[in-house]
């Protein structure tokens, strides 16, 4: 019926959609055989995964047989029948005319003409699982046993239970459905004492989501094939997520920074120290590390603290707020009507130099350089320097100290777990959920067997049970003392008012399994994630931390005259710092360390101070940051896009479809992502609206919680959607027929060379993304690829890298999935070569990976065969379905005989398939024996600079585009 990824992008009919983490695994799927009669005289319990089955079986005992469905057993078909069921084969009509050729349904498995009635089929590879479950259910029920459905407690779990009941011939009302938030003995016993029927409303909500997503995927994708390119796909939720990334990218491009000036002074407690420290401080600031980086703010604060000094920032001049700002755009509100506000075209160097002189800077010099890539005020980089006079008089005007408290954050829900794992561990959302699923379903603990270590990991509730609160409060009191235990438990409200699930937050199932005790039983990912969950759970019930925050105002200066002739009054600098009074919950999570936080020396009001450093800095406001996985998930959650169970899939799918890419852990929209988004917004402005997507989630919640008719909801959706689709099919312009004017500085070199004068260029979209072409096309066929900023570049930069196949030169090219190196003889009629090398995200060449050794060992996650590879720490096993499945095998748990046999096979395999060493044209190695870039290897940009560039040209000819869109 539905996938774990219930909002997944539907692929084309020629490429069936991925079934998700709870679905069948196709030909790679392996099931456990049922022994005839094994369920006789027993109760049958059905769960999703073998790991979960193993853990539950430990608590239920010999009176139960626990079997796994390994995810969904049924779903909508990926292809519809070519003619209606029961239709007879007919070559010709009765009047002799040819019979009308039957066509596939536009949405396989969904009858659009009859109340969206779904038709389900057993997933490929799941036939034996269903057959075994039917045999086991029959054996159990004919001997007085019951069938229990113990699938997960969310909509997906409910749908799996419903499909299983349908296949086994059990009515929903008669089914014994059991749910438990944690796989522990107490929770399982409680669940089996309180069974209930399958929740049809919850199933209908899941079914409605599945059908809406199927309709959008299968009907919008053909629109993209016709108007953009073949093979593309769209999804109701993922397309909106891509729109967020696209719009953020365009905000960044359109951003023009404001200029503002900052003046900071470094103070000592007496003048003799200031004279001594001034040259030492200047020398320290000039120091550069081995990478050419100046001292960090953290290291500067440490140096100051070690010398008894501190830093303060100028905040007032003559009693007025100091604010030297130049707005980036006309009409900007930045700046304000203070006496130092000036027109945006003004050079503020004279103003800030006068203030710096009043603050004690002597021998002032100003320099200016042009930054061609800068926008607005940022085009001119200005620098004001000088030598500080430590004799400049200053005094402490006031000191204010106030006590502040910081409350512990709430326990994890799915989104905050994914965000924290991304920020602290560097985990992607899918990696986080995979490790969390394993911790929930159970890991093998010596002496205890399989143990579920955390509660259910798909939740948007911060609720904690009374038992859990009592358990952790007792642990806090016993481990840290009464000071760290608040008088009453801490309670937290959910930020998501439409929280779908009513179960608990993510927490450890028991305080008897601290991370240090179970570390040896966990994989690296499991251990790090469990530590994160443990710390957050304990911290959320601890006392708040307490701090003394101190603000010091320093007055002084030597006066002076501003450029407009007015006198500069007394200067006021402000220094801040804070001191920890009580660490509270930070005892578990560790203390926060802000880069700009400093330790203040003992100070008193009226005390004289002397400056030993003064910095004048031209600053510019920053554009909004690109999304990380953590910030994108936070936005999806706050905007009500998707649900906790879908965030990981959303992020995975939009990257797999090449609509966005991650560079240095930040999401950037690809050219393809921008074009597809524009077309979808033009065709379906309502569906692509964030508010509409949020409202749709609300309707799905109402189906589950308020008995909203799911068929009626689908009717209201499909009517307007069908009209928009038909209109778009007729009126939407092909993406490759559209042009966007390029900057005036870019002109056609071919027209100029051939005497047609100065001709502007335009951007077009081709199979490899944007490129520049002459606006006179087809009269002029000049074309050039562009870089990420839209600047023209040669089509195929020759690079100092030898082709791995023919040893010839390679050229830098751009494909649908980004830059790569291709042989310069590609397409050569006499001696063609198709050699290719990849470029990593840092711009280095990487060698192609040799084929892995396919074993017969099943993946612990999906049971597909695993690959064996050699690594730095020895052989390791990984799923052959990577990246769709990231399951890893435990090499150390294999018996000696098996390991020896596999090691021998791996040795022979690697001998027959050695790792290629990539070399320059001169023979110098660029990669090591593992195929990784050598530490001394230059980037592709550097290698490209060592050879001559090829003649400019686009990655795709204009003629091929003209043929595709029917332009002559």
What are the tens digits of pLDDT across the range 78-99? 886 655 444 444 444 444 444 4
Which of 9-23, 144-158, 484-498 is most confident?
144-158
- Which tens digit of pLDDT belongs to each residue from 851-894? 889 998 888 777 788 999 887 778 899 998 887 787 888 887 78
Which tokens sit at 486? 């608040």
- In terms of pLDDT, which residue wins out, 73 or 501? 73
When pLDDT is cut at 50, 70 and 90, the band that residue 332 belongs to is very low
Q: How far apart are CA 421 and CA 532, in angstroms?
A: 8
Cis peptide before 49 (omega within 30 of 0): no
Ramachandran bin of 540, using left for φ above 0, alpha for ψ from -120 to 50, beta for the remaining angles = alpha
When pLDDT is cut at 50, 70 and 90, the band that residue 965 belongs to is low
pLDDT for residue 78 = 86
Q: Is the pLDDT of residue 32 over 70?
A: no
CATH of domain 259-289+296-404+547-620: 2.70.20.10
Instruction: State what percent of residues in the chain have pLDDT above 90.
Output: 65
Q: How far apart are CA 63 and CA 617, in angstroms?
A: 76
User: In terms of Cα–Cα distance, which of 150, 54, 229 is closest to 768?
Assistant: 229
Give catalytic residues, as residue numbers: 456
Q: Is the pLDDT of residue 596 over 80?
A: no
Ramachandran angles phi, psi of 551, nearest 5°: -120, 125
- Which tens digit of pLDDT belongs to each residue from 742-758? 999 899 999 999 999 99
Contact in structure between 463 and 455 (CB atoms under 8 Å): no
List C-alpha distances in Å: 148 to 44, 144, 179, 196.
6, 13, 10, 10
Q: Is the pLDDT of residue 517 over 50?
A: yes
pLDDT for residue 518 = 96
What is the rounded average pLDDT of the residues 275-288? 95
CA 114 to chain CA centroid, nearest Å: 40
Q: Is the pLDDT of residue 215 over 70?
A: yes
Element containing residue 44 per DSSP (H, E): strand 43-47
Which tokens sit at 823? 């042989």
Class of domain 26-81+104-201: alpha beta
pLDDT for residue 72 = 93
Contact in structure between 701 and 498 (CB atoms under 8 Å): yes
Q: How far apart are CA 150 and CA 46, in angstroms?
A: 6
The pTM assigned to this predicted structure is: 0.79
Q: How far apart are CA 601 and CA 552, in angstroms?
A: 11
DSSP tag of 424: I
pLDDT for residue 97 = 44
List C-alpha distances in Å: 349 to 262, 325, 326, 345, 374.
12, 11, 12, 12, 18
Class of domain 408-543: mainly alpha
Least confidently predicted of 12-26, 785-799, 926-940: 12-26
Q: How far apart are CA 12 and CA 502, in angstroms?
A: 36
- Which tens digit of pLDDT belongs to each residue from 292-307? 889 999 899 999 999 9
Which tokens sit at 240? 């909106």
CATH of domain 853-912: 3.30.65
User: In terms of Cα–Cα distance, which of 795, 871, 717 is closest to 116?
Assistant: 717
pLDDT for residue 939 = 81
Query: % helix / strand / coil in the chain, to the nearest 5?
Result: 35, 20, 45
Q: Is the pLDDT of residue 334 over 60?
A: no
Q: Is the pLDDT of residue 103 over 70?
A: no
Mutual orientation of helices 238-254 and 671-683 as an angle, nearest 10°?
A: 110
- Which tens digit of pLDDT belongs to each residue from 637-691? 999 998 888 999 999 999 999 999 988 889 999 999 999 999 999 999 999 999 9
Mean pLDDT score across all residues of the chain: 86
pLDDT for residue 873 = 75
Element containing residue 821 per DSSP (H, E): strand 818-823
Which of 121-125, 158-162, 919-923 is most confident?
158-162
Q: How far apart are CA 511 and CA 517, in angstroms?
A: 11
- In terms of pLDDT, which residue wins out, 592 or 965? 592
Task: Spell out where 524-659 has E strands.
Answer: 545-556, 560-561, 567-568, 571-582, 608-620
Which tokens sit at 515? 């991370």
pLDDT for residue 344 = 39
Three-class secondary structure of residue 683 per DSSP = helix
CA 349 to chain CA centroid, nearest Å: 42
Three-class secondary structure of residue 768 per DSSP = coil
Q: Is the pLDDT of residue 336 over 60?
A: no
pLDDT for residue 968 = 40
What is the rounded average pLDDT of the residues 500-511? 82
Task: Spell out where 426-536 has E strands.
Answer: 443-445, 449-451
Domain ranges for the chain, please list them: 26-81+104-201, 259-289+296-404+547-620, 408-543, 735-795+952-968, 853-912
Contact in structure between 394 and 266 (CB atoms under 8 Å): no
pLDDT for residue 340 = 38
Q: How far apart are CA 251 and CA 92, in angstroms?
A: 60
DSSP tag of 713: H
Q: How far apart are CA 862 and CA 25, in angstroms?
A: 7
- Which tens digit of pLDDT belongs to each residue from 793-821? 765 668 889 998 888 888 888 766 677 88
């Amino acid at each position: 019926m539905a996938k774990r990824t219930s909002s997944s992008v539907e692929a084309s009919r020629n490429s069936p959609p991925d079934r998700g983490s709870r679905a069948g695994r196709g030909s790679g799927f392996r099931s456990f055989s049922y022994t005839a009669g094994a369920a006789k005289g027993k109760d049958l319990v059905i769960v999703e995964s073998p790991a979960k089955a193993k853990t539950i079986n430990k608590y239920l005992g010999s009176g139960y047989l626990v079997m796994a469905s390994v995810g969904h057993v049924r779903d909508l078909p990926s292809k519809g029948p070519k003619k209606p069921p029961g239709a007879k084969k007919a070559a010709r009509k009765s009047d002799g005319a040819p019979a009308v050729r039957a066509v596939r349904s536009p949405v396989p498995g969904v009858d659009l003409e009859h109340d969206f009635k779904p038709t389900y089929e057993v997933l490929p590879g799941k036939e034996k699982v269903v057959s075994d479950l039917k045999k086991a259910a029959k054996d159990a029920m004919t001997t007085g046993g019951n069938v229990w459905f113990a699938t997960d407690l969310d909509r997906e779990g409910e749908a799996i239970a419903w499909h299983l009941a349908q296949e086994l011939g059990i009515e929903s009302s008669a089914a014994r459905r059991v749910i438990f938030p944690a796989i522990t003995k107490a929770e399982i016993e409680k669940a089996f004492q309180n069974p209930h029927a399958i929740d049809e409303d919850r199933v209908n909500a899941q079914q409605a989501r599945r059908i809406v997503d199927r309709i959008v995927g299968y009907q919008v994708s053909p629109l993209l094939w016709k108007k953009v390119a073949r093979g593309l796909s769209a999804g109701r939720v993922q397309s909106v997520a891509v729109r967020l990334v696209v719009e953020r990218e365009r905000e960044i491009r359109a951003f023009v920074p404001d200029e503002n000036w900052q003046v900071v002074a470094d103070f000592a407690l007496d003048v003799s120290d200031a004279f001594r420290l001034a040259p030492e401080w200047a020398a320290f600031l000039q120091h550069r590390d081995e990478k050419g980086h100046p001292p960090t703010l953290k290291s500067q604060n440490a140096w100051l603290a070690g010398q008894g000094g501190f830093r303060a920032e100028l905040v007032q001049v003559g009693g007025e707020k100091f604010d030297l700002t130049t707005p980036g755009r006309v009409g900007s509100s930045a700046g304000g009507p203070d006496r130092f506000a000036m027109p945006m075209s003004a050079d503020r160097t004279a103003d800030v130099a006068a203030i710096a002189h009043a603050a004690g800077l002597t021998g002032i010099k100003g320099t200016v350089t042009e930054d061609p890539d800068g926008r607005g005020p940022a085009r001119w980089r200005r620098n004001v320097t000088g030598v500080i006079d430590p004799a400049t008089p200053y005094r402490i005007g006031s000191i204010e100290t106030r006590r502040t408290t910081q409350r512990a954050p709430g326990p994890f829900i799915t989104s905050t777990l994914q965000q924290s794992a991304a920020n602290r561990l560097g985990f992607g959302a899918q990696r986080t959920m995979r490790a969390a699923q394993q911790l929930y379903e159970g890991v093998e603990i010596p002496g205890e067997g399989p143990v579920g270590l955390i509660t259910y990991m798909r939740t948007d509730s911060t609720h904690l049970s009374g038992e859990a609160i009592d358990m952790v409060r007792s642990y806090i009191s016993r481990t840290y003392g009464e000071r760290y235990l608040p008088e009453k438990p801490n309670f937290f409200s959910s930020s998501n008012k439409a929280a779908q699930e009513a179960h608990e937050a993510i927490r450890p199932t028991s305080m008897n399994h601290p991370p240090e005790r179970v570390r040896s039983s966990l994989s690296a990912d499991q251990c790090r994630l469990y530590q994160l969950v443990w710390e957050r759970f304990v911290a959320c019930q601890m006392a708040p931390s307490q701090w003394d925050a101190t603000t010091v105002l320093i007055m002084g200066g030597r006066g002076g005259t501003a450029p407009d002739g007015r006198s500069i009054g007394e200067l006021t600098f402000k220094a801040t710092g804070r001191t920890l009074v009580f660490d509270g919950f930070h005892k578990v999570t560790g203390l926060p360390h802000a880069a700009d936080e400093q330790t203040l020396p003992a100070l008193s009001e009226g005390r004289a101070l002397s400056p030993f450093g003064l910095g004048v800095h031209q600053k510019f406001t920053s554009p909004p940051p690109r999304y990380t996985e953590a910030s994108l998930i936070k936005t999806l959650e706050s905007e009500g896009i998707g649900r906790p169970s879908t965030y990981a899939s959303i992020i995975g799918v939009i990257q797999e479809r090449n609509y966005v890419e991650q560079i240095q852990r930040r999401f950037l929209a690809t050219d393809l992502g921008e074009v597809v988004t524009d077309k979808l917004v033009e065709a379906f402005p309502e569906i692509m609206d964030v508010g509409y997507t949020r409202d749709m989630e609300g309707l799905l919640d109402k189906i589950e919680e308020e008995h909203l008719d799911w068929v009626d909801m689908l009717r209201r959706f499909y009517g307007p959607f069908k009209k928009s689709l038909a209109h778009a099919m007729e009126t939407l312009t092909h993406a490759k027929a559209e042009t966007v004017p390029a900057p005036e500085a870019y002109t056609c070199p071919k027209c100029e060379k051939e005497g047609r004068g100065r001709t502007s260029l335009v951007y077009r979209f081709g199979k490899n993304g944007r490129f520049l072409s002459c606006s006179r096309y087809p009269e002029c066929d000049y074309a050039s690829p562009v870089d990420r900023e839209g600047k023209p570049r040669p089509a195929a930069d020759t690079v100092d890298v030898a082709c791995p196949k023919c040893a010839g030169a390679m050229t830098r090219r751009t494909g649908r999935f980004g830059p790569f190196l291709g042989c310069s003889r590609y397409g050569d009629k006499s001696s063609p070569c198709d050699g290719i090398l990849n470029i990593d995200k840092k711009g280095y060449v990487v060698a192609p990976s040799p084929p892995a050794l396919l074993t017969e060992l099943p993946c612990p996650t999906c049971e597909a065969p695993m690959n064996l590879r050699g690594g730095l720490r020895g052989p390791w096993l990984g799923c052959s379905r990577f990246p769709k499945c990231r399951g890893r095998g435990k090499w150390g748990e294999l018996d000696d005989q098996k390991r020896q046999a596999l090691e021998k096979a791996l040795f022979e395999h690697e001998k027959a398939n050695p790792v290629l060493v990539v070399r320059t044209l001169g023979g110098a190695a660029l990669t090591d024996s593992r195929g990784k870039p050598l530490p001394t290897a230059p980037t592709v940009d550097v290698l490209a600079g060592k050879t001559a560039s090829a003649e400019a040209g686009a990655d795709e000819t204009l003629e091929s585009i003209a043929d595709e869109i029917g332009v002559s």
